[in-house]
Structure 1
Amino acid sequence: MKRAGLPVLSLIGVPMRRAALCAVLLLCAASLVATGGTPALGQSNGPIVKPGDTRGTGFHPLSPLLRLFGVDNNRRTRLREQRPKQRIQPRREPVKPVIVEVPKDADARVVLVVGGDLAKDLGEGLEATYSEVPSVRVDTLLFADEGLTTEMGGEIADRMQGVVQGRRVGAIVVLIGSADTRDFTLAGGAELQFRTEAWADAYGRRVEALLAAARRQRTPLVWVGLPPPKGRERRANFRYVTTLIKDRVEAANAIYVDVWDVFLDEEGGYTSFGPDVEGRRRRLRDNAGVGFTWPGKSKLAFFAEKAIARVLGSSGAFAFEGVEDDPNFVVLTGRIGSPETELAGAEDARNAPIADTPQYRLIVQGVMLPPASGRVDDFRLSAP
Structure 2
Amino acid sequence: MSKSVSAVVGFGLAFLSSFAAEAAQDLDGKTMSTVVISSTDVPDLGGTYDENITSNQVTYNSSLAGNTLSIYPNSEYLQKVYNGNSVNGIHYYWVPFDWVIPELSIKLNNSMDHDVTFSRLNVHVSDSTVDIRPVPVFYWGSVESLSLKNEGWGPMRSAKLALGFAKSSKCDGPQTVMADSIAGKFETTVGDINEYYRLDLADLLPIDLRGEPDVCAVGLLRFSDSDGNDHALRFRTLVLLGFPGVGAPGPPTANYSLYLEPGKSNYDIQIPISQVVPAKSYDNFTVSIYSKKSAAFKFNIQVVSTDGKVATERNIHLTYFVPRSMRVLDPPKSLFSDFNIDPEDNERLKRYVTSIKQNPVNPEELTFDITEDWILLPLKKRTEIHKLLITALAKKGTLSGRFCYANAEDRCLRSGEF
TM-score, normalised on structure 1?
Answer: 0.20
Give the TM-score normalised by structure 2: 0.18
Write 1 or 2 for the structure with the bigger share of helix. Answer: 1
Greater relative CO, 1 or 2 (CA 8 Å, sep 6+)? 2
